[in-house]
Amino acid sequence: MAALQALIWDVDGTLAETERDGHRVAFNAAFKSLGLDWHWGESRYGDLLEVTGGRERLLRDMDTRADAPSDPAERDAMARLLHALKNKQYAAIVAAGHIPLRAGVAALMADCRLAGLPMAIATTTSRSNVDALMGAHFGPGWESGFAAVLCAEDAPVKKPDPLVYRLTLERLDLPPEAVLAVEDSPAGVGACLAARVPVVVTRSVYFGDFPAEGALAVGAGLHDRRTWVPGVPRPGKREAPLPEDGRVDLDLLCAWHARRTGSVVLST
Ligand code: XBP
Ligand code: MG
């Protein structure tokens, strides 16, 4: 069984709570800038997160609106414009310091750097959003700290499709069993399982209680290992939460990765 050779990060919900206070707020500002009387509340946005991709999410919402253009080409153009405006607003929100990293993220990244373990990013959000968030927290040269950064522009078929993980593995030149992903959403876990990538789940505000079957471990946040429960591949069979204090560090992730027993459920 391969030892851990790279850690792969999801972005939205995993690195930071970007959705409720970032993308949602930015979408609402974009609606306003076009003079639209549209507003996504927290709960409505949570429902729309079933759709991955901001533009795709907009199109889903437009299906329910009488005042959205009825012509498909016009509707598509409007979604593209709103999405571009939203991403600009999002970058401004992030640059203003409104979106902190989730607790435990920076420390785990520092563990990887210290241990010389390569890291990658596998997300189906736009590259500009990743750049805005990572640049705000790690400075303009942040990308040099990552062996691969794959975004929506690289993988246009979005999670839960495994494409972004398959491309990331290709870029890293590693087999799936040699990596570990950190995810927060059902779509993210679905993408990992379909790509046979082992995954741990750090629960985010919008995905607080999905079953996460097939994950190696599930917890409320990387900062507190007492909230984590190592998973097993079969439904209904779970271990007790970890008793000891401390964060989820690289040693713990390596231990979970090493003791997995074919725990990646194949969905394809
Ligand atoms: C999150 C997404 C994205 C973001 C918005 O994907 O589904 O669509 O909500 O970004 P992940 P865009 O968790 O894999 O990062 O507007 O650029 O799509
Ligand atoms: Mg996510």
242, pLDDT greater than 80: no
Q: Is the pTM of this model over 0.85?
A: yes
Question: pLDDT value at position 236?
Answer: 54
Cα–Cα dist 67/47, whole Å: 20
- For residue 72, the CA-to-ligand 2 centroid distance in Å is 29
Atom of ligand 1 lying closest to residue 191 CA: 14
| Most distant pair of Cα atoms in the chain: their distance | 58
12 part of the active site:
yes
Q: How far is CA 221 from CA 48, 72, 77, 141, 226, in A?
A: 23, 41, 39, 27, 10
What value does the mean pLDDT take over residues 126-147?
Answer: 98
239, pLDDT greater than 90: no
268, pLDDT greater than 50: no
Please report the beta strands in the chain, taking only residues with DSSP state E, as ranges in sequence order.
6-9, 119-122, 148-150, 179-183, 199-202, 217-219, 229-230
Q: How far is CA 106 from CA 14, 109, 110, 137, 207, in A?
A: 12, 5, 6, 9, 21
Residue 168 near ligand 1, beta carbon < 6 Å:
no
Say which range, 84-93, 176-185, 241-250, has the weakest mean pLDDT.
Answer: 241-250
Cα–Cα dist 176/178, whole Å: 5
Question: pLDDT value at position 231?
Answer: 75
Atom of ligand 1 lying closest to residue 13 CA: 13
- For residue 145, the CA-to-ligand 2 centroid distance in Å is 20
Contact 244, 226 (CB under 8 A): yes
Please report which confidence band the pLDDT of residue 266 belongs to, taking 50, 70 and 90 as the band edges: very low
Question: pLDDT value at position 240?
Answer: 64
Mean pLDDT estimate for the chain: 93
209 part of the active site:
no
| Per-residue pLDDT reduced to its tens digit, 14-42 | 999 999 999 999 999 999 999 999 999 99
Contact 202, 189 (CB under 8 A): no
Contact 16, 100 (CB under 8 A): yes
To test the pocket of ligand 1, the residue of 18, 48, 52 to mutate (highest count of ligand atoms within 8 Å of its CB) is: 52
Residue 126 near ligand 1, beta carbon < 6 Å:
yes
Question: pLDDT value at position 241?
Answer: 67
Rounded percentage of the chain residues whose pLDDT exceeds 70: 93
| Per-residue pLDDT reduced to its tens digit, 114-127 | 999 999 999 999 99
Contact 248, 229 (CB under 8 A): no
